[in-house]
Amino acid sequence: MLMKQKKDTTIQLFDHFKDKTILVTGHTGFKGSWLSIWLTHLGAKVVGVSDSEVSKPSNFSVSGVSTTIEDHRLDIRDTDAIKILVKKIQPDFVFHLAAQALVRPSYENPIETMTINTIGTANVLDALRVLNKKVVAVMITSDKAYDNVEWVWGYRESDRLGGKDPYSASKGMAELVIRSYVESFFNAPDSNVRIGITRAGNVIGGGDWAIDRIVPDCMEAWANGKTIDIRSPHATRPWQHVLEPLSGYLVLAATLAQSGKNHGEAYNFGPSTNQNYPVSKLIDEMSKYWDQIKWNDISNNVGHVYEAGLLKLNCDKSLYDLQWYSALQFEETVKMTVEWYKAYYQNQEQPMYDFTVNQIELYTKAAKLKGVSWASYD
């Protein structure tokens, strides 16, 4: 059990983001749509940029996010278009989430994965380089940016980056690009641009329909009375609700807005170490809230591409520097996730925006009850 941290009333998310112009790249994606809803709920003017929706359905569509924000469709690899948009909107904050975010498709399209994740990151940073105003940018990479040797210890921010598969390698390359821009262009004490780097683990939650994702695949199959094939039931992951790392991104952005002390630093945002569970445990926990589940173990089938069997993060630095730690237990995470999908599948005509906002409020209350500093101010 983590020690309760001293209350920090200086970081007030509502004060930092209210009435600010905030660019969210990848706003149609799973994390991006939840973040856009949360920021809008905090009173921000959200401007989103993505080339398309990553899935149909998506949280972006079923929650009607496009009706609450400024929605732009651009390819993150289009240098000139990104630069023009950033100059036009003059953002106060940027959250860069646009990515090809899945391991298995990276084997099918490695060049696309690497250009989206690496050149796209460079384009955002270069647009900020020529922006003549103060701005905080949180650059989201991945826990898979680490050179994963599948040991039992959680990776620290100082550990070596790498990656065996094209997706992981692309995230490692993105980190090199970010570091280069920080050192080359944003290193002066009076720099207008402050950068934070984040690495998060496996996130689950309502509204994710990306391909080859265990939770949405199970939810869709079980909602239709079908059996789901599980490739890696024994693979262990640090399961966390999507709102957990998003709260970390917000705390990091708010901290950077106050001070340049954490400028250029990388932070892990993951669950406590006792929340690493195999896929089979996740399925067992989901079955408590869903009747008549059926699944097959196909781990012995040949032809699977490499996927990490063990990967977890050490988040001590986030606790020490930002007073951030996860608020939900594994069981709470799974319950919130399944409840979102059940609400959707029971009435697919009803927009999920209000339900999503309600879960954000419930999460905030849970964080406050557990003494997490960002939620503990009055």
Which three-class secondary structure state does DSSP give residue 224? Answer: coil
pLDDT value for 202: 80
Is residue 227 a part of any domain in this protein? yes
- Domains of the chain: total: 1
Is residue 315 a part of any domain in this protein? yes
What is the residue-level pLDDT of the chain in tens, covering all 378 positions? 333 344 444 447 668 899 999 999 999 999 999 999 999 999 999 999 999 988 889 999 999 999 999 999 999 999 999 999 999 999 999 999 999 988 889 999 999 999 999 999 999 999 999 999 999 999 999 999 999 888 888 999 999 998 889 999 999 999 999 999 999 999 998 999 999 999 997 899 999 998 888 899 999 999 988 998 888 888 878 899 999 999 999 999 999 999 999 999 999 999 987 788 889 999 999 999 988 778 888 777 755 566 656 788 999 999 999 999 999 999 999 999 999 999 999 888 788 999 999 999 999 999 999 999 899 765
Among residues 176, 178, 168, 177, which one has the least CA distance to residue 148? 168
Is residue 222 a part of any domain in this protein? yes
Domain that holds residue 249: 13-297+310-375
Is residue 1 a part of any domain in this protein? no
pLDDT value for 11: 46
Report the predicted TM-score, pTM, of the whole model to 2 decimal places: 0.93
Is residue 97 a part of any domain in this protein? yes
CATH of the domain at 339: 3.40.50.720
Among residues 42, 3, 17, 34, which one has the least CA distance to residue 372? 3
Is residue 2 a part of any domain in this protein? no
Is residue 302 a part of any domain in this protein? no
Number of H helices, E strands in the chain: 14, 13
Is residue 305 a part of any domain in this protein? no
